[in-house]
Amino acid sequence: MANGQWYPPEWPDRIRALADGTLTPVQPRRAATVMLLKDAGGAAGAEAPAETAGGIAVHMLRRRASMAFAGGAYAYPGGGVDPRDHERLVAWAGPSRAEWAERLGVTETEAQAIVCAAVRETYEEAGVLLAGPVSDPASVVSDTTGADWEADREALVARDLSFAEFLDRRGLVLRSDLLGAWTRWITPEFEPRRYDTWFFVAALPEGQRTRDVSTEADRTVWIAPAEATAGYDRGELLMMPPTVATLRQLGAYDKAGDVLAAAPGRDLTPVVAQARLEDGELRLVWPGHDEFTKHLPAAHDGPDAQGPSA
């Protein structure tokens, strides 16, 4: 049975075009995504997810089939960097911008924008806010429900409100210490929509609950990483390679706190798929992740030549 690896039908021809030099790669857009975690059994102020009886659960959403990129695939809350997050200092708590810059391998300004994207997108797509009051920056907002909060969230989604303005309006500071940088993947060079994405981990704050508010998703779920990958292996859940890879990594941990503790030691060397011509065929490989390797003929010989083999 085929697994649920996301593989658009136009990829084979684009891979061939890249290999023969007729396709010019587009510049990837910087992005961030967050693997929001909680311990099973009611930890972090929420009921235990029905999908798991122990260990950890991760919050996932299914992208609407109409989405131009990865439609129908399960993913984590995330999105692109807002250019305005480069332009002014954001109210900040936790590791300094310099520390984040060193960890992410970017400038301080770029580090702020990437971390802001992670926190903002988690709020926009899951209703969870990793921020605390200026008066007590060691605490976390416990309730983000209500019409006024929803109005601000929608303004962020519409880009009518910058994240810095939102924090200032609410008297909040971004809690960068609640995030851990986990891995970095860059969309393959042959994909027309490319993202340079940092994957973060975070625990669901005490008192907060995820909400099904994303306009880009038609389903949200708390699920055990092992159950999610089992669904993928059976071909029931569609996912992109970085989602599957990170779920398999999360499956090694029993507590959300253990995942956060492991994050500082994670290698952030970017993973980028490569198309190689070997022995008359093209091989699509993700370095370090052999399970995603695909094989296809070097030349397009008709409809039967389009489909890749594992």
Q: Is residue 87 part of a domain?
A: yes
pLDDT digits (tens, 9 = 90+) for 28-71: 999 999 999 999 864 333 333 444 456 999 999 987 555 555 56
Q: Is residue 159 part of a domain?
A: yes
Composition of the chain by helix, strand, coil, percent to 5: 30, 25, 45
The string of DSSP letters for 194-252 reads -EEEEEEEEEPPTT-------TTEEEEEEE-HHHHHHHHHTT-S-B-HHHHHHHHHHTT
pLDDT band with cut points at 50, 70 and 90 for residue 1: very low
Q: Terminus-to-terminus CA distance in the chain, angstroms?
A: 11
pLDDT of residue 45: 34
Q: Is residue 14 part of a domain?
A: no
As a whole number, the mean pLDDT across the chain is 86
CA-CA distance, 15 to 241, in Å (whole number)?
Answer: 17
Indicate the number of domains in the chain.
1
pLDDT band with cut points at 50, 70 and 90 for residue 214: low
pLDDT of residue 5: 80
Q: Is residue 20 part of a domain?
A: no
Which residues constitute the domain of residue 141? Answer: 31-43+53-268
107 contacts 172 by C-beta, under 8 angstroms = no
Q: Is residue 10 part of a domain?
A: no
How many Cβ atoms are within 10 Å of 123's Cβ, its own excluded? 24
Q: Is residue 24 part of a domain?
A: no
pLDDT digits (tens, 9 = 90+) for 149-191: 999 999 999 999 999 999 999 999 999 999 999 999 999 888 8
pLDDT of residue 48: 37
Closest-CA residue to 181 (of 251, 309, 94, 73): 94
Q: Is residue 94 part of a domain?
A: yes
CA-CA distance, 214 to 210, in Å (whole number)?
Answer: 11
pTM: 0.88
Q: What is the DSSP letter of 75?
A: E
Q: Is residue 301 part of a domain?
A: no
φ, ψ for residue 196 (rounded to 5)?
-100, 100
Which 3 state secondary structure label does DSSP give 66? Answer: coil
CATH number where 192 lies: 3.90.79.10
